[in-house]
Structure 1
Amino acid sequence: MRNARFRMMARLFFAWALWGLAGPGICAAETFPAIVEAKDHAVLSASREGALIRFEADAGDTVKKGDFLAMLFHRDLIIQKKSHDAQSAYWKRRVKEISGLNRSGFASNEEIEKARIEMISNRSQAEIIDSRIKASKFYAPFDGVVVRRLVRPFEWVEPGRPVIELYSRNRLYFAASLPSKLAVGFEKGKSHVFFVPDIGARITAELSVSEPLVDARSGTIKTYWRVSNSRQAAESGLLPGMRGVLSMGPVRSEAPLSRIK
């Protein structure tokens, strides 16, 4: 009993000594959760209906801007375009022929105008079909990595259906919601270090921008840091969606004595 009381008194004395040395609080680093985001992130969706007959990229593949990724069936459209191109070329010749006859008095202006309308109509139809053919193909909008394919090969898709998702490794950011009193004092371009538990790495990022709005409920400002060396970060395994920790300190915390062991 006496030994237990002695240990309790010794612990209280030790806590009192720490309180006196540290001032009104114990020095500790204040931490804030952050999440990794990709600045360039895209979900490519179908702009026309059709069967997805070809995939050239799969999840995890690295692609360059302009690389061909996938294609909808459009052979029927190619046949239709060729037909309208041929009709347009035919009526173009007819306009020339009828115009010659008109100058000789063997054809009316109405006949010329009718031939010209047919030529323009077929040319317009060919251009519309050509735009649908182009919409059948999907290309990478930037250098990046394919995240996932959202449809299966030979699956029918409707306009607006997401087909493939990708992001760029070259522009990764950390995003965190910070207390407004802290965020407004940050200097743009200043470097901070984030610890990412998933890969056990510390990643340096530069303050990029803070949203010019304080969340009324939490009193925080959404703040973004650009990863300083995206290539090195990618090689270390940093991925969008990973969570990191921003340490800001040391700061003083009013920790109760009962928590000191």
Structure 2
Amino acid sequence: MASRNWPKLTRSILRLVAIAAIVGGSVYWFRFMPVSVQSQEIVAGSVTEEVMGTGTLEARISATISPKISGRVAAVLADQGDTVTTGDELVRLEDDELKQQVAIARANVDAALAAIGRLKVDKERANVVLTQAEKNFRRVESLSERDATSQDELDRASEALGIAMADVSRSEAGINEGQKELVSAEKNLEYHDARLRDTIILAPFDGLVVKRSREPGDVVVPGSSMMTLIATDELWIRAWVDETQMSKLEAGQAGRVTFRSQPEDSFPAKVARLGREADRETREFIVDVRVLELPTNWAVGQRAEAYIQVAEPQNVPVVPKSFVVKRDGVDGVFIDVDGVATWRVLSLGVRGPDAIEVKDGLALGDIVIQPGNERGVLKPGQMVVRQ
């Protein structure tokens, strides 16, 4: 009976030995076999600390092109995407009726001038008559003093003199009235001329047409938008930045801008001005960051991230950001000490986009390590081999 159970017992023992070998091999593998790691020597360098804000590309100078008068659009002479210079024609309104009004106003000016000319001729005639009446009155008056003429003759000469003087006064009054009518006619002509000129809408500054909203035949009124024009000499990102970063920022600081259409590229920028009002809900404030260089294709209103340089410590120990890990909520790194992974707690300073300043915990020449693949995990005491 015992001899029959012996093979089963042997198999069980062999099975246990095999399991023990597997477990032992696994323990040896995980505990004693070296883990492949990436390494980096700690050297002195510089770290750029940046404050980030998200915003949109805007033009500092922007104008909504609209008419001063009501009318029907006759022609649109600039399209979206066109570059224009100051004084270029953008839109024309129909002007037939206004041209007629200008012609009528000009005819009224001519009529007023002609009337004044006629009144001046009448005044000259009245002056001639007055001169003759004065001479006749003096002659009759002299004769009357010598009793060489009658009182009736003197009275008639005096009456003729008064009538001549009244005619001169009436002529002068007529000329004054004509002058006033001329001024009124000229002002009316200026008004209609201005309205006629207002049918041609000109570019107020050099810029780029970014929006066109009217077509020929549309009826427009003062204040209605026909197109939007921006100046391209100064574009900036209106970035929303957390108010906790306010004390670090000032006008003139250098920075860079990353557009979401080209996230791999950065474009130089500079802080133009800081906003003085924070959003009461998000606790952010506006920072206008002037873009010094633009991508080939851009659009007003497109999203971008602005990174503003606020500090740049020089010649300090730096560690690549990818090597820093947290254990139990504490920042630290693994270093290679004679082929063994050793945990070091760090005191960190300025954090840049790729590297971090090390204030304490590492010395120049230390070798920091991380797993050779994304899924790898290091533990203190593990044997490591550098790739």
Contact 2:52 2:241 in 1 (8 A): no
Distance 1:193 1:249, change over 3 A: closer
Equivalent pair of 1:183/1:223 in contact (CA under 8 Å): no
How far the C-alpha of 1:183 sits from its partner, in A, is: 2.5
Which residue, out of 220, 233, 248, partners 2:284?
Answer: 220
Q: Which secondary structure does the structure 1 equivalent of 2:107 belong to? A: helix
- How far residue 29 of structure 1 moved from its aligned partner, in angstroms, is 7.5
Partner of 2:84: 63
Q: What is the CA distance between 1:84 and its match in structure 2?
A: 1.3
- Superimposed CA distance per residue, residues 182-208 of structure 1 (whole angstroms, 9 cap, x where no aligned partner): 123213211111111213431211101
CA contact (8 A) 2:269 2:291 kept: yes
Deviations 1:70-111 (A, max 9, x none): 110112212211221222123123213313422432561442
Partner of 1:244: 304
Say if 2:95 is the partner of 1:35. no
Q: Which amino acid aligns with 1:240?
A: V
Matches within 5 A, 1:58-207: 58-105=79-126, 106=167, 108=170, 109-200=172-263, 201-207=265-271
Q: Normalising by the residue count of structure 2, what TM-score does the alignment of the two structures yield? A: 0.54
**Relative to 1, partners in 2 of residues 1:104 and 1:211: Cα closer, same or farther, differing over 3 Å?**
same
Which of 198-207 and 106-115 deviates more? Answer: 106-115
Supply the distance in 1 between the matched residues of 2:203 and 2:84 (Cα, whole angstroms): 7
Name the structure 2 match of 1:13.
none
Stretch moving more, 48-57 or 143-152: 143-152
User: What percentage of aligned pairs have identical amino acids?
Assistant: 20
| TM norm structure 1 | 0.77
The verdict on how the C-alpha distance between 1:256 and 1:214 changes in structure 2, with shifts beyond 3 A counting, is farther
User: Aligned partners of 1:129, 1:64: CA distance in 2, in Å?
Assistant: 27
- The alignment of Structure 1 onto Structure 2 pairs a total of residues equal to 233
1:248–1:114: structure 2 CA closer, same or farther, 3 Å change rule? closer
Q: CA RMSD in A?
A: 3.3
Does the Cα contact within 8 Å between 1:199 and 1:237 map onto a contact in 2? no
Q: Where in structure 2 are there 5+ consecutive unaligned residues?
A: 1-22, 32-48, 127-166, 311-320, 330-373, 376-387
Secondary structure at the counterpart of residue 213 of structure 1? strand
For the 8 Å contact 1:45–1:159, the answer to whether it is kept is yes
Structure 1 SS opposite 2:57: strand
**1:33 CA displacement:** 1.3
Q: How much does 1:44 deviate?
A: 0.6
Distance 2:327 2:210 in 1: 47
